[in-house]
Amino acid sequence: MSDVFSTDSQGALSGTKVLDLSRVLAGPWTSQLLADYGADVIKIERPGEGDDTRSWGPPWLQDGDRQDTGDSAYFLSANRNKRSLTVNIAHPEGCRIVRELARTSDVLVENFRVGTLKRSGLDYESLRELNPALVYCSISAYGQSGSRSGQPGYDSMIQASGGLMSITGEPDDAGGSPQKVGVAIVDIMAGMYAATAILAALVARKDTGEGQHIDVPLYDSQVAWLANQNMNYLVGGIVPPRLGTAHPNIVPYQTFATADGYLSLAVGNDRQFRACMDCLGLGDVPDDERFIDNASRVKNRDTLIPLIADKFRQQPSSTWLEKLGVRGVPVGPINTIEDVFGEDYALERNLVRRLSRTDVGDIPTVANPVRFSGTPVSYRFAPPRLGEHTTDILTSELGFTAEQVDALRQSGAI
């Protein structure tokens, strides 16, 4: 039996049906966002195995007897508000099930190697014949066309080859080396681009009645969101270096050591700079021609930063956080993730939402940060067990009988 759930939602995407053929992170992140906004997401998974990330543990979700389940914490991070349907798309009957679901879906998300789904008749051109209104989103390493389209790719290698690691980490002269970001940020950002593109395509469909194919490459997404660092190179002609926690275009804007730890300073204008210098006992510095405006401070950062760093080391973080906070200078502690969820702010903003599943009880999940005034984000049901909703979907969505479902299961199609 599956857990009690309802696809009803008052969210902005209520009534929108999403068929999710993706796995790992970029695609599931996309579909979880759509689900949070009210869409009914059917997650297609391989029978017996499921999404790759179900096995990416420890840590594991535990049941009521404190025994590990087959679901990793990684899987839980990107799969709430979805229904799980196990289908073998290599089986003719499994392929037919997906095609029939696509016939009545608004959106399909997939991240297979380019060309894989064409062999099963599940590519955009094939499904468009069944459902011209379908918005079909393909996420891949290097896009659907071009010399690299057939190549595989994962987050860390794209962080490296797409430029991010070249600007992340301490500089060589400080003993540093290129570093990757501590989460799979390429996948997450590609998922964000995909979600916004899908929403745009749904809006366009209202005028044309037609869906379209959306091509979201991990590599192109990584390059796109380098933002000011891209433009620093394209306009300035200088390859951006690694600066540790420092900002390439704003000074002072970095982490500083204190008497008992670290804090992060983010001075964004001349008023804040003057207030910061007053707090540090360097009240004459803002009038020095070398530091009189941000452009000057960037040019002379190697002179200014040691002056500031020496002052910060003289008192504990708590003292500086209080002094600078009173003066309106943006500054923050270096919190652990435990610190983040332990703060009063996390409770005030309900950053952790708990969803119930019959086999384990409550499952913690991290809140979607968006707050709508009229169509709130919904937290309808927990990340599903593998194949939890297979029978329900096949009977309610496609009209299969219990006997037909059993036959499909025996044949290996589901």
* 177 and 280 together in one domain: no
Q: What is the DSSP string of 124-187?
A: HHHHHHH-TT-EEEEEESS-SSSTTTT----HHHHHHHTSGGGGSS--GGGT------SS-HHH
Task: Report the SS3 class of residue 390.
Answer: helix
* 26 and 139 together in one domain: yes
Q: What does the block give as tokens for 331?
A: 């500054």
* 218 and 268 together in one domain: no
Residue 80 is assigned to a structural domain of this protein: yes
* 184 and 126 together in one domain: yes
Residue 366's pLDDT is 97
* 69 and 190 together in one domain: yes
* 294 and 185 together in one domain: no
* 295 and 398 together in one domain: no
Q: In this structure, which amino acid lies at residue 230?
A: N
Residue 95 is assigned to a structural domain of this protein: yes
Residue 4's pLDDT is 43
Residue 240 is assigned to a structural domain of this protein: no
Residue 327 is assigned to a structural domain of this protein: yes
Q: Which residues neighbour 278 within 8 Å (Cβ) at sequence distance 6 or greater?
A: 327
| CATH, residue 325 | 3.30.1540.10
Q: Which residues neighbour 66 within 8 Å (Cβ) at sequence distance 6 or greater?
A: none
Q: Which of 312, 333, 354 marks a domain boundary?
A: 333
Q: What does the block give as tokens for 27?
A: 């695609």
Q: Which residues neighbour 266 within 8 Å (Cβ) at sequence distance 6 or greater?
A: 250, 253, 330, 331, 332
Q: How are beta strands 135-140 and 107-110 bridged, if at all? A: parallel
Residue 3's pLDDT is 44
Residue 340 is assigned to a structural domain of this protein: no
Can you give the pTM of this predicted structure? 0.93
| CATH, residue 134 | 3.40.50.10540
Residue 243 is assigned to a structural domain of this protein: no
DSSP 212: -
* 45 and 73 together in one domain: yes
Q: Which of 333, 359, 388 marks a domain boundary?
A: 333
Whether the Cβ atoms of residue 331 and residue 266 lie closer than 8 Å to each other: yes
Task: Report the SS3 class of residue 114.
Answer: coil
* 219 and 74 together in one domain: yes
In the chain, the number of structural domains is 2
Q: What is the pLDDT along the chain (414 residues), one digit of tens a residue?
A: 334 445 566 899 999 999 999 999 999 999 999 999 999 999 999 999 999 999 999 999 998 888 888 899 999 999 999 999 999 999 999 999 999 999 999 999 999 999 999 999 999 999 999 999 999 999 999 999 999 998 888 999 999 999 999 999 999 999 999 999 999 999 999 999 999 999 999 999 999 999 999 999 999 999 999 999 999 999 999 999 999 999 999 999 999 999 999 999 999 999 999 999 999 999 999 999 999 999 999 999 999 999 999 999 999 999 999 999 999 999 999 999 999 999 999 999 999 999 999 889 899 999 999 999 999 999 999 999 999 999 999 999 999 999 999 999 999 999
Residue 242 is assigned to a structural domain of this protein: no
d(CA 186, CA 264): 24
* 325 and 371 together in one domain: no
Residue 395's pLDDT is 96
* Residue 123 is a catalytic residue: no
Q: Which of 308, 333, 358 marks a domain boundary?
A: 333
Which structural domain range is residue 139 located in?
17-224+346-411
List residues bridging with 361 in a β-sheet: 357
Residue 234 is assigned to a structural domain of this protein: no
Q: In which element (H, E) is residue 356 found?
A: strand 352-357
* 266 and 161 together in one domain: no
* 329 and 350 together in one domain: no
Among 20, 40, 155, 187, the one annotated catalytic: 187
